[in-house]
Chains A and B, each alone.
Chain A
Amino acid sequence: MNEATPSQYSEEFEVNMGPQHPSTHGVLRLMLRMNGENIVRATPYIGYLHRAIEKICENRTYAQCIPLLDRFEYVTSMASEEVFVLATERLAAVEVPERAEYLRVIMLEFNRIASHLIFLGTFSLDLGAITPFLYCLREREQIMDLFEMTSGQRLTYNYIRVGGVAYDIPEDFLPLARKFVDTFQHRIDDYEAILTQNPIFLARTKNVGIISKDIAVNYAASGPVLRASGVKWDLRRDDPYSIYDRFKFDIPTGTVGDTWDRYMVRVQEMRQSNEIVRQALDQLPQGDYKTKMKAVFKPPVGECYARIENARGEMGCHIISDGSTKPYRVKLRGGSFCHTQLIPAIAPGMMIADLVATFASLDVILPEVDR
């Protein structure tokens, strides 16, 4: 990597990147202090998608909050519903039927795959490869079909509710899901055949944007970013929620913490998620899919922080209840928030094209940052 030392022939200048730059995946704005093509200092400016979801949640009942939570993290809406519902259920000590837990796990893991497919597509698009994008979105459409036949929506599902799920799966869900799980493992081989050992891809990703273990932990990175830096930390295993302790799965980790490691961790995670879905489909019990709740839901006074392992890391929700129908305070925590904060720490010395690759590999989505 080139050192960012002032040269006698050049002077430093500022480059504004965003908030509508295609490679910022939304509306992040970066002010880059440049020396030639090397970054001296990067300052992110956020808030371009601040929608005051936390404030609105204080103004709505618990059931009305769930659709808003869909828009908090729309690439894995199921997870953002789950984290809110999990916190609420812990507050009110609601029992969830077994079948509902399994349905949640199936949806969550499918959604993780869908999210990693979006990552893989846009990541390769940012590196200049269009083919993987088309491949990934093709498989993602099949998952969207499964979601749509269950919840009626492609992106914002409002499916996971307090005390269970909104609907049972339709009859033809299981055969289609099985078929997807069986074919998908070979599809991942296809993506890897295009990318993993591709020399251009390696040149753009190997040893680019290294995030050391210390920096990752200190900046509260989580999820694939933390695991790529070599920390074996997965909330599904280390702080189990729902029924994740019943499934067998590996936690892939990287060694160096470079862009390639983060790519590889996500690809491995898709394989693992696929296996979790397969196990959940096999074990899926019969029974109720939701518990009967009172028409007006009032959890007792209390507070709870629930956290789950989302595709982008630790997603947390802190709910404070004052015993009324509306939450007193909802705080949302997304992995992207901390990953955006990493940029000023790792960008200095980097080339601007490497920043694009690194930022894409962090898989930041902005609504999770701005809320």
Chain B
Amino acid sequence: MADHDSILKLLTERFPGKVSALELTPAQTAVSVEAASIVELFTFLVESADLKMNYLSTITGIDRTDHIEIVYFVSSLEHKHMLTIKTKVDRIGGKIESIQHIIPAANWFEREVWELYGVDFVNHPDLRRFLLPDDWDQGNPMLRDWDGRDFIRMPEVQ
């Protein structure tokens, strides 16, 4: 069972320059990775005997106003450790490789991020309308500056 430091060390040494350790508050094991190496990283995470991280909790998109951050939470049922993986893509026309062929559970998570944030997942087999109505024409609603039908911003509480 690998602990916090050894996971980070293993990953940064295996992918020098591509993966770097992240300090988050509150403390958690986290790395940031270049969008181009996401498939490489996940292949390693699943296949490495020390990590065996094949349980994908979720994929989140976050609109940071200048870029979109995609966060993967992946854990190992055998070693009982968890890893947060962060990557950045462009806000408009952002592209990232799909990891659906490595972990099938990513399929729907990626579809959701594609629909709500407009991030294109390359090689995803099934990017169709997902949560929104079939005739939806108002863009990607989870973007921070999205302003569409029926959405009233609440006043800020001081």
Contact = CB atoms under 8 A, between A and B. Distances in A.
* A and B touch in their complex, CB below 8 angstroms: yes
Interface of A: 46-47, 50, 52, 54-55, 58-61, 90-91, 93, 217-220, 231, 233, 238-239, 296, 300-305, 307, 314, 316, 318, 320, 324-326, 328-329, 331, 333, 337-338, 340-341, 345, 370-371
A305 B54 contact: no
Interface string B50-87: 00001111101011000000010100010010101000
A47 B104 contact: no
A318 B73 contact: yes
A239 B158 CA distance: 36
A231 B77 contact: yes
B131 interface: yes
B142 A54 contact: yes
B132 interface: yes
Interface residues of B, number: 37
Interface stretch (B2-10, B13-21, B24-32): B24-32
B65 to A, nearest CB: 10
B107 A220 contact: no
Interface of B: 24-26, 28, 54-58, 60, 62-63, 71, 73, 77, 80, 82, 84, 103-105, 107-108, 129-133, 141-142, 144, 151, 153-154, 156-158
Contacts, number: 91
- Give the 10 A-B CB pairs with smallest separation, nearest first: A220-B105, A302-B25, A47-B131, A333-B58, A331-B60, A50-B131, A325-B157, A219-B105, A341-B108, A218-B104
B131 A341 contact: no
Contacts of A324: 156
Contacts of B105: 218-220, 338, 341
A47 B134 CA distance: 10
Interface centre among B54, B71, B103, B105 (most CB of A within 10 A): B105
B157 A296 contact: yes
